[in-house]
Structures are given as C-alpha cells and as structure tokens.
Amino acid sequence: MEYESIATKEDFIKALISLRDKSRFCDTTSYLEMLRAQAKSDNQTITSTKLAEALGFPNYNTANLKYGLLGHELADALNFKPHSRKDGTPVWFWSISTGNAASEETLDGHYEFVMRPELYEALLEIRWVR
C-alpha cells in the first residue's frame, strides 16, 4: 500500500497544540506519553503490547483503547475522516499511524503502528520529543 499523507507537519502542530490546550491531553489520558513512546521506538514503530509495557498499562487492550481515543481526538482536530472497518467503525488510529499487518516479521508478531512522518516531524519541531 502506497503511503498517503493526511496532513502537513504544520497541520499536525496546530492539532497537537489544540489538544494540549484541552486539560486532559497531558494530565490524565497518557496521550503525550504514548506519542513519546512511539516516537522513541525504532522507526517510530510500536505494537500495542510494547505500548502497554512502556506506559505500564495492564495489557494491550488498554493500549489499543487509549491509542484509538487519541486517534479520534487527533482526527477531529485535523478534520480528518479515516477509512472504516468492514463493520463500519472508523479506524481512528489512522490519524496517528499507518501500519504493518501482524506477521512473523513484525514486532512480537503483532500489528505494528508506524507513526506518520509528518506527525513525528511536528513532535520534534514543537520539542515534545527529542
């Protein structure tokens, strides 16, 4: 599948700043910590299991839930409508990452989230990651 950009670095910066201004973003949701964990991972690629380990979540289901909630909020801030699954539910994480299907070549053999490069560049520019 060919990479398709959904927003510019500048669009991501505006969206991140708008989310930051919501008190929940940095305080109670682990959103910033999730972005930092993924950004620091090799090639900005992480699985739900690795995300859960990095943030101390009880399991990958918690990581999936929180990652999807972050994706939803980011999509709303970007005015982005992601594609839907067969059951019609939106794939909210698509605003944060593309992905690699689970296989023997992926981390843990699980689905990999690959951070969008424009998002990574935005995080670097606003110095939320180093």
- Ordered by start, the domain boundaries in the chain are 9-125
- One DSSP character per residue, 7-75 reads S-HHHHHHHHHHHHTSTHHHHTS-HHHHHHHHHHSGGGEE-HHHHHHHHT-SSHHHHHHHHHHHHHHHH
Tens-digit pLDDT profile for the chain (130 aa)? Answer: 567 899 999 999 999 999 888 766 665 568 889 999 999 999 999 999 999 999 999 999 999 999 999 999 999 999 999 999 999 999 999 999 998 776 676 667 678 999 999 999 999 999 999 8
| Predicted pLDDT at 71 | 95
Please give the structure tokens belonging to residue 111. 């689905």
Prediction pTM value: 0.88
Rounded CA-CA distance 46/33 in Å is 13
pLDDT for 87 equals 95
